[in-house]
Structures are given as structure tokens and as C-alpha cells.
Amino acid sequence: SQTQGRLDSFFKVI
Amino acid sequence: MFEARLMNATILKKILDAVKDLLNEGTFDCSDSGIQLQAMDNSHVSLVSLTLRSDSFDKFRCDRNLSMGMNLGTMAKILKCANNDDTVTIKAQDNADTVTFMFESQNHEKVSDYEMKLMNLDQEHLGIPDTDYSCVVRMPSMEFARICRDLAQFSESMVICCTKEGVKFSASGDLGSANVKLAQTSNVDKEEEAVIIEMQEPVTLTFACRYLNAFTKATPLCNQVQLSMSADVPLVVEYRISDLGHIRYYLAPKIEE
């Protein structure tokens, strides 16, 4: 099954 | 002193319509080069990135870089008070805690101004890496909106599968399933009606329909939409805003547990 990803895990906070 | 003027309120109204379902508030960063807004929705699943270039405004002055936190619901209410063909001027003093929207009718006989309190928003900025996407699809924005609306009836999520033959949108749930395939346009008479696919590698990704439908609120801004996809990275949905700039939406894909 699939779960919704979050952008925090792809893009770094600057 | 910050001052930005557009001869026509319509574009600003459309931009607000395109972001207010996803964001309650946002910080408009103003500099010599223009106005930028970058903000994630509350759940950190999607991000809105708006760029308006200073040279496309009818007047643009920004003496010092300025970050203006705005309640977008209030801003939308204020913009509703403008007629579509009114000239809009956005003004703020340096270090001000308010921003003023001034609307002027075409015959210059009606001038109204609305002052809005600014907010201190502690928003995180995300660094978005430059990515060479495996698939870039350009298609009519109305068609994309239609597909998102139709497929959302079947499932919370939609699979987008892109190959060199075309792009397929699928949704499947308790009611049944839906598949929409679009082939690349063979001969382009009207550029705005074309489906164009640039593919390095085929990609299949799954996204939440709710967010895709929210992005399609930008449809009135541009006849074409561009979808950029690579395996396991966020989708980019881009609408150009005539010669003024663009609005990009990023959406995290659904991932295997």
C-alpha cells in the first residue's frame, strides 16, 4: 500500500 | 518604499484564486527583481511557488527588500472590491506593518484604497534542487482540469503514467476504475491545444487528486499546463502567467510503505 509523502523529505529547509 | 502597479486587476484576482484553496497566508518577498511567494500547505504535501517579474509591471519600485506576510483570504476579499479593468497599485512603506491596495477606474473617476494589516509569518523556505525531469508533458490546461475532476470521482489518488506514446491518467476505487489516455499531438495547428511529451525515461507516479484539483484553480491563468515528473520526486505543475511570470505547484508523490 502507499502512503502520502511530504515535501520535507525531498526538499531541504534553507 | 515599495510600489507595484498593474493596469488590470484581472490577473491578480486569478492569481489569488489559484492559491487561496491551498494557503491561508503567505509571505510576499519583494525585491528589485520582482515579487516571489513560496509557501507549503499546512500538511507539507504541496508547495506553491509564485514568481512575478518586476519588468512586467507597469510600474515597479522596491527601494529595500521587503517581506510582507499576508492573509490570503483577506487579500482575496480586497481584490474582489476591484473591477477587472481597474488599475491596481500595491504600496507599502519600508518596515511598515500594513500594505495598501489602490484601485483606479479606467476613467480615473473612482479611486479606492484598502489597507490591510501585515502578519509576521515564521515560514520555512525550502531549497528546491534543479532537476532534469524524466518526463515533461505540456497539455491544454482545461483538459488537465477536466481529467483531474473526472478521475477524482473514482479514487482519492490518481496514477500518472508517461511513456513516449502518451500520458495515461488512471484512478480506481470501490465504484470502478477510470483511464484517460492522451497521445502526443501529431500535427500542431494550434499550439495551445497540443499535447507534447519530452521523455527521457518512462515514469509512473501516484498523486492525491485533492491537491491536483486545487492546482487546477490556476487554469484561467494559462491555456497550457506543464507537468514535470521523475521517479520518486515531487511533481511540478506549472502555469505561465502571460509575460508576468509563473506559478508552480510541487506535490509529493504517494510512496510505498
Q: Grid cell 484601485 — which residue? A: B103
Residue A1 pLDDT exceeds 90: no
DSSP per residue over B115-181, as a string? Answer: EEE-B---PPPEE------SEEEEEEHHHHHHHHHHHTTT-SEEEEEE-SSEEEEEEE-SS-EEEEE
Position B10 scores a pLDDT of 95
Using an 8 Å CB-CB cutoff, list chain B residues near A6: 43-45, 252
What's the CA gap between B14 and B57, in Å, rounded? Answer: 16
Integer Cα distance of B146 and B221 in angstroms:
16
The β-bridge partners of B168 are: B161, B181
B255, A2: Cβ pair inside 8 Å?
yes
User: Which of A2, A4, A12, A14 is the best residue to mutate to test the B interface, defined by the most B CB atoms within 10 Å of its own CB?
Assistant: A4
* Nearest in space to B57 (alpha carbons), one of B94, B30, B96, B77: B30
- Burial of residue B15, with CB atoms counted within 10 A of its CB: 0-12 exposed, 13-18 middle, 19 or more buried: buried
B131 touches chain A (CB under 8 A): no
pLDDT digits (tens, 9 = 90+) for B168-202: 999 999 999 999 999 999 877 888 899 999 999 99
Neighbours of A3 (CB within 10 A): 9
Cβ-based neighbours of B66, under 8 Å, separated by 6 or more: B2, B29, B30, B31, B92, B94
Q: Taken in order B76, B81, B84, B89, is the CA torsion positive or negative?
A: negative
Share of chain A above pLDDT 90, in %: 36
Residue B204: all three cell numbers together: 509512473
Give the number of other Cβ atoms within 10 Å of residue B257's Cβ. 6
* Nearest alpha carbon to residue B69 among B42, B96, B105: B96
pLDDT at B141: 98
Does residue B125 surpass a pLDDT of 90? no
Q: Which of B124, B128, B255 sits opposite A5 (nearest CB)?
A: B255
- DSSP β-bridge partners for residue B141: none
In this complex, do A3 and B129 lie within 8 Å of one another by their Cβ atoms?
no
CB-nearest partner of A7 from B45, B129, B255:
B45
Query: Are B128 and A5 an interchain contact pair (Cβ–Cβ within 8 Å)?
Result: no
With a cut of 80, say whether residue B257 has pLDDT above it: no
Q: Which of A3, A6, A12 sits opposite B44 (nearest CB)?
A: A6
Q: What is the pLDDT of residue B89?
A: 98
Work out the mean pLDDT of chain B and round it to a whole number: 95
Of B47, B157, B256, nearest to A7 by CB-CB distance is: B47
Question: How far does the CA of residue A9 sit from the closest CA of chain B (Å)?
Answer: 9
User: Which chain B residues are Cβ-neighbours of A13 within 8 angstroms?
Assistant: 124-127
pLDDT 10s digits, B148-170: 999 999 999 999 999 988 999 99
Residues constituting chain B? 257
B11: left (phi over 0), alpha (psi -120 to 50) or beta: alpha
Mean pLDDT of B228-234: 95
As a three-state string, the secondary structure of A1-14 is: CEEECCHHHCCEEC
Q: What is the pLDDT of residue B52?
A: 97
| Alpha-carbon separation of residue B199 from B109, B204, B226 (angstroms) | 54, 12, 13
pLDDT band for B256, please (50, 70, 90 cuts): confident
Instruction: Tell me what ipTM this predicted complex has.
Output: 0.94
Cβ atoms of residues B141 and B192 within 8 Å: no
**CB contact (8 A) between residue A2 and residue B257:** yes
How big is the A-B interface in CB pairs under 8 Å?
A: 57
Calculate mean pLDDT across residues B194-215: 97
Res. B45 pLDDT band, cuts 50 70 90: very high
- List, as ranges, residues 1-14 from A with C-beta within 8 Å of B: 1-14
Q: Do residues B137 and B202 lie in contact, with contact meaning Cβ atoms separated by under 8 Å? A: no
Q: What's at B102, amino acid-wise?
A: M
